[in-house]
Amino acid sequence: MNVARAASPPGAALPGAIRRILDCYEGESAATRRNLVRLLSHGRLGGSGRLLILPVDQGVEHGPARSFAINPAAYDPHYHFQLAIDAGFSAFAAPLGILSAGTDTFAGQIPTILKLNAANSLAVAHDQAVVAGVDDAVRLDCAAVGFTLYPGSDAFVDQAEELRLVARDARAAGLPLLVWSYPRGGMLSKTGETALDVVAYAAHLAVEMGAHIVKVKLPSEHIEQEAARDVYAGGNWSDPAVRVRHVVEAAFAGRRLVLFSGGASRDTQSLLGDARAIREGGGSGSIVGRNSFQRPRADALAMLGEIVRIYAAANSTRSTPATRN
């Protein structure tokens, strides 16, 4: 089946940016490709080849009060669906409870991504429990499924085996797999969790294990692994765009979509600076949770509008297979 025709309105050609991205996903089923198109076509960045995703799993990961007390409207799952729609996000990613709580009201208005595993701050282990299945995502008409991997943690081997099964089920159901690849635990120092070499390694592990889209934190200049120090010596790593570029290269030389997370709430200018670096480095976009729902709604909409403008302004200055003109 011709995916381009199936995913577009009759007579409409698929935008070049999306076509180039699809060309990088060799061997995928028509249904998986159609769902990638669904994500890449929605919202204010639709058709640009970039993604902006609203993730709301912080109530589980960090606790409800730490996440929502600053903006009590955000305790309501419907608040996040509406914010995702009004801000023009590409998709809304959340655990089963939140997605179920708005699935009828917001049906067809925003692509959703079901986060299949979860950690919480009451536990100490660097591990996640698989708490939902691909069958739930199909029932909720999701456009993709999500899974958090902790490279470096003592639970990594078990997590990798869980991910293999999730990836198999997701492919059978035609759902793209988005992997949050967050190094932590084991022998990694706290600084090492966002070290350039470690973040690039985490991105590579995720795509090697079947992620269609990988999400990582923006890397710092720090190099964690002694054995990798020589390889990085002499690079211009003080430029955040160069660091983004390196992570994108580690994800099959830009043949996979690479997103960067927003992190804890901070000032708008610093967020916009990150978005510029991601764009310049050939990253595919951002996942911005706390910085969206921990701001008053009007401020969040204004800030997200600025991020959209940055991503929509131009393509990356250094091309990858997915961004080449």
Residues that bind ligand FBP (CB under 6 A): 55, 57-58, 61, 180, 182, 261-263, 287-291
Of residues 112 and 261, the one with the C-beta less far from ligand FBP: 261
C-alpha span between 272 and 309 (Å, rounded): 10
Closer to ligand FBP at the Cβ: 61 or 169? 61
Instruction: Identify whether the C-beta of residue 112 lies closer than 8 Å to the C-beta of residue 81.
Output: no
Q: Which is nearer to ligand FBP, 88 or 263 (CB)?
A: 263
Report in angstroms how near the CB of residue 26 gets to ligand FBP at its nearest: 28
Complex with ligand FBP: residue 286 or 315, whichever CB lies closer: 286
Q: Is 49 left (phi over 0), alpha (psi -120 to 50) or beta?
A: left
C-beta of 15: minimal distance to ligand FBP in Å? 27
Task: Look at residues 105, 43, 89 and name the one whose alpha carbon lies nearest to residue 300.
Answer: 89
Q: Is 215 a catalytic residue?
A: yes
d(Cα 213, Cα 144) in Å, to the nearest integer? Answer: 10
Which residues, 6+ apart, have CB-to-CB distance to 124 below 8 Å?
Answer: none
Q: Which residue has the tokens 């899974």?
A: 147
The active-site residue, picked from 115, 190, 215, 217, is 215
Among all residues, whose Cβ is closest to ligand FBP? 289
Cα distances (Å, whole numbers) of residue 89 to 34, 50, 71, 172, 198: 18, 11, 20, 27, 29
Closest distance between ligand FBP and the C-beta of residue 122, in Å?
A: 13
Question: What phi, psi does 184 have (nearest 5°)?
Answer: -175, 160
- Which lies closer to ligand FBP via its Cβ, residue 218 or residue 248? 218
Which one, of 163, 271, 212, lies nearest residue 36 by Cα?
Answer: 212
Contact (CB, 8 A) for 95 and 131: yes
Q: Which is nearer to ligand FBP, 46 or 146 (CB)?
A: 146
What is the smallest separation between the CB atom of 148 and ligand FBP, expressed in angstroms? 8
Least Å distance between CB 54 and ligand FBP? 9
Proportion of the chain in helix, strand, coil states, percent, rounded to 5: 45, 10, 40
Residues with Cβ within 8 Å of 227's Cβ and at least 6 positions away in sequence, in order, are none
For the CB of residue 261, give the shortest distance to ligand FBP in the complex, in Å.
4
Q: Where are the alpha helices (DSSP H) in 216-261?
A: 229-232, 240-250
Residues acting as catalytic residues: 215
